[in-house]
Amino acid sequence: MKILVAIKQVPDTATQVKIGAGGKAIDTTGITWIVSPYDEFAVEEALRIKEKRGQGEVVAVCLGPDRAKEALRSCLAMGCDRAIHLNDPAWANVDTLTTARALAAVIKQEQPHLVLCGRQAIDDDMGAVTAQLSEVLGWPCAAWIMEESVDADAKHVRVARQVEGGLEAFDLPLPAVVSAQKGLNEPRYPTLKGIMGAKKKEIKDLKAGDLGLGAEPPQLSIVALEALPPRPPGRVIPGDVPTAVKELVRSLREEAKAI
């Protein structure tokens, strides 16, 4: 069984982000880059499926600039068999739809049985690529899965999606696209052997032209990045607990009108 995992390289959550010159992107100086955490759940699940079946191939794919290779290298260190890097200046300002179309083109070449993504990348938090990819491919899709099991002959995958108030379980005929929610698994750390081995694994570079894609103008573009408006200064309520609690409740009712 062949599984393709689509990942994204993003700034570490704890990294300070500053608006860069031009005002439409962040200043990338000094940023620590990581594999988006939800994508790690997707990688882990793909590896588990392969391990459980005792055979198969897991291919990691990432669209991004040169530095994104490091993210793919991390996936190889976790255990992915090979990687594909969609690296082309034509994709510098991609939106979710262009990303989905590029991924779909790779998927048509690779013909995996299952595509796993993270529920969203934690940089732009758009969370649209999984669904758009399934639409471009015409495949069934289940977002935010908490459980997954592929049947013995790799014809169907049963998933449980997290929804308001519970879980909904579905059977999807393969090939299908699913996205991982936290709780699906606990991603492994790469072993030293894995890290060493990753250096020898293949990362194939592809450009838009290799996939038969032209330069498409994005359908959604960033006009500007802005800092958050400052919150009005708050106050720490002094006094012993009974006094402070009374004052808090009074403030919530009379000033904030929040209760």
Partner 1 sequence: MAGAIWCVVEDDRKGTPKKVMAEVIGEAARLGGPVEAVWPTDKATEDGLKQLGSWGATKVWLLENPAFAPYRSEVWAGALAELAAAQSPKAIFGPVTSRQREALARLAARLGVGISADSVAFSMEGDKLVATRPVYAGKLLSKVTWAKQPWVATLRPNVFRPAESQAGKTAAVERPSVKIASAQMKFIERREEVSTGLPELTEAEIVISGGRGMKGPENYVILEDMGKVIGAAVGASRAAVDAGWRPHRFQIGQTGRTISPKLYLGFGVSGAIQHLAGMRTSKVIVAVNKDPEAPIFKIADYGIVADLFEVVPALTAEFKKLLEK
Distance, CA of 209 to CA of 178 (rounded, Å): 27
User: Contact between 158 and partner 1 (CB under 8 A)?
Assistant: yes
Distance, CA of 22 to CA of 230 (rounded, Å): 22
Distance, CA of 59 to CA of 66 (rounded, Å): 18
Are 9 and 64 in contact by the 8 Å Cβ rule? The answer is yes
Are 187 and 78 in contact by the 8 Å Cβ rule? The answer is yes
Q: What are 76's two structure tokens?
A: 């190889």
Residues 128-147 touching partner 1, rule: CB under 8 A, are: 128-132, 134-136, 139-144, 146
Q: Least distance to partner 1 from the beta carbon of 242, Å?
A: 6
Exactly one of 68, 86, 107, 172 binds partner 1 (CB under 8 A); that residue is: 172
Whichever of 12 and 202 has its CB closer to partner 1, that residue is: 12
Exactly one of 13, 28, 109, 191 binds partner 1 (CB under 8 A); that residue is: 13
Exactly one of 62, 76, 83, 122 binds partner 1 (CB under 8 A); that residue is: 122
Residues 50-109 touching partner 1, rule: CB under 8 A, are: 95-97, 100
Q: Least distance to partner 1 from the beta carbon of 104, Å?
A: 10
Whichever of 67 and 246 has its CB closer to partner 1, that residue is: 246
